[in-house]
Amino acid sequence: MRFLKMDLRAATIAAALTASLGLAAAPAEAKVDGDTIILGSAISLTGKYSTNGIHAQNGYELGVKVINDNGGVVVGGKSYKLKIVYYDDESTPARGAQLAERLISQDGVKYMLGPYSSGLTKAIAPVTEKYKIPMVEAEGASRSLFTQGYRYLFAVLSTSEQYLASSIELAAEIAKKNGKKPSDVKVAMAFENDPFSLDVRAGVVDDAKKFGMKIVIDDKLPRDLSDMTSTLTKVKALKPDLLVISGHSKGAATAARQIAELKISTPMIAMTHCEAAKIISKFGAGATEGILCPTQWAETLSYKDDLFGTAAEYDALFKKSFEGYKNVPYQAAQATAAVMVWKDAFERANSFDSEALRDAIADTDMNTFYGGIKFSPAGNNVAKPMVLRQIQDGNLNVVAPLKWASSEARHPRQPKY
């Protein structure tokens, strides 16, 4: 009897285990639930990247809403709605990777959208690669993401080495216009010692080398940057023609403030993240006059598509849809573009098979309000250039590339300190 009891207990446990396994297996079919296609994303809703994480989430949501309102995604003659399942990665890479694993293996998500930042994307890409799940990402620009031979990773944004390279080209053009040789241009560089900024630096160094420019300062800034006095004193001493800086928002805020305080007179200054650091409103139009700021996207560009219309129309729609935005951050625009890539791929592949979808994404060639999207074999977008804007009388005006420029670059910059 006792043995029988034990057997019964064992059987019950076995049955329970089988049932739970069955339950766990069930959601694996959840990639398409009725007439809804489910996309997944682990994204920073809390923690140090939460500001941009939420911008990106808003971008995704607007993409989904507009696509669903305009007939959804048509696969095999039937219209499907899009839905995104989010998890909060708390801005930590390890958590991001864990949640990507959970989305894929537990929740059965077969179509991924990226997280925020290169670091998180780097953590998640090996997971999506392992399960052969295509991921369209919009917020990881680091060059190193596209040198690993990943097959299932696609990025709609321009990679980081292009961020400030355009400023070197502009400096060369201006030098030529002023009757000087581009190789006479002296460049000072100050980059944060993190993967993103070092990629930006690599792009600058490559371009400077191309023109034979001389790099007179090559400083790496610490991660907890709050004082650039020593670097800027060097700038005062060596009087370069171009100063390029990249160190996320804090780098831009520190640099903009101390450039004004120390009255740096370099004729051309370019830095990343001007907009995120809100340098114009923080330090005034006079102090920031003439600073060049690269951006992935601007609402004044003449890009357009059938779904959102022009960049300006997207800008207006976004502001109407989400409260509290005076400017639409490019992080949101590119997130929307990533959702558009998925819609396009589903319709061209006409299938839910992830391998067919991966191939369809790889063949993407579309124009959007965010710019052209066409992926290189490495997965980065090669159809969209980086845009350079200049602070002119307190406004950010597009000055390069010339094709999309709305005003002419002012040189030398004439700040009022």
Residues ≥6 apart with Cβ < 8 Å to 35: 72, 78, 79, 80, 81
Residues making up the chain, counted from first to last: 417
- Determine if 236 is a binding residue for other proteins (CB under 8 A): yes
CA distance 259 to 417: 9
- Determine if 92 is a binding residue for other proteins (CB under 8 A): no
User: 3-class DSSP state for residue 304?
Assistant: strand
Lay out the site mask for other proteins across 172-211 (x = CB under 8 A, - = otherwise).
Answer: ------------------x--x------------------
126-138 in b/e form (b: 16+ CB < 10 A) is ebbbebebbbbbb
Of 229, 321, 350, 395, which lies in the binding site for other proteins, with binding defined by CB under 8 A?
229
* 224 or 323: CB nearest other proteins: 224
* 83 or 416: CB nearest other proteins: 416
How near is the Cβ of 212 to other proteins at its closest, in Å?
A: 19
Lay out the site mask for other proteins across 328-367 (x = CB under 8 A, - = otherwise).
Answer: ----------------------------------------
Q: Can you list the pairs that 349-355 forms with residues at least 24 positions away whose Cβ atoms lie under 8 Å?
A: 350/75, 350/76, 351/75, 351/76, 352/31, 352/32, 352/37, 352/75, 352/110, 354/110, 354/111, 354/132, 354/133, 354/134, 355/132
| Selected range binding other proteins among 68-76, 93-101, 259-267, 318-326, rule: CB under 8 A | 259-267
Cβ-in-10-Å burial (0-12, 13-18, 19+) of 99 comes to buried
How near is the Cβ of 249 to other proteins at its closest, in Å?
A: 6
Q: Please work out the total of residues on this chain that contact other proteins, with binding judged by CB under 8 A.
A: 42
* 68 or 265: CB nearest other proteins: 265
How near is the Cβ of 178 to other proteins at its closest, in Å?
A: 26
- Determine if 47 is a binding residue for other proteins (CB under 8 A): yes
- Does residue 125 contact residue 102 with C-beta atoms inside 8 Å? no
Phi and psi, residue 16, nearest 5°: -60, -40
CA distance 298 to 288: 19
- Tokens 């069930």 found at: 26
How near is the Cβ of 162 to other proteins at its closest, in Å?
A: 24
| Selected range binding other proteins among 46-54, 155-163, 336-344, 357-365, rule: CB under 8 A | 46-54
- Determine if 416 is a binding residue for other proteins (CB under 8 A): no
CA distance 257 to 58: 30
- Determine if 291 is a binding residue for other proteins (CB under 8 A): no
The residue ranges that bind other proteins (CB under 8 A) are 46-51, 91, 190, 193, 218-222, 224-231, 233-234, 236-238, 249-250, 253-254, 257-258, 260-263, 276-277, 282-283, 417
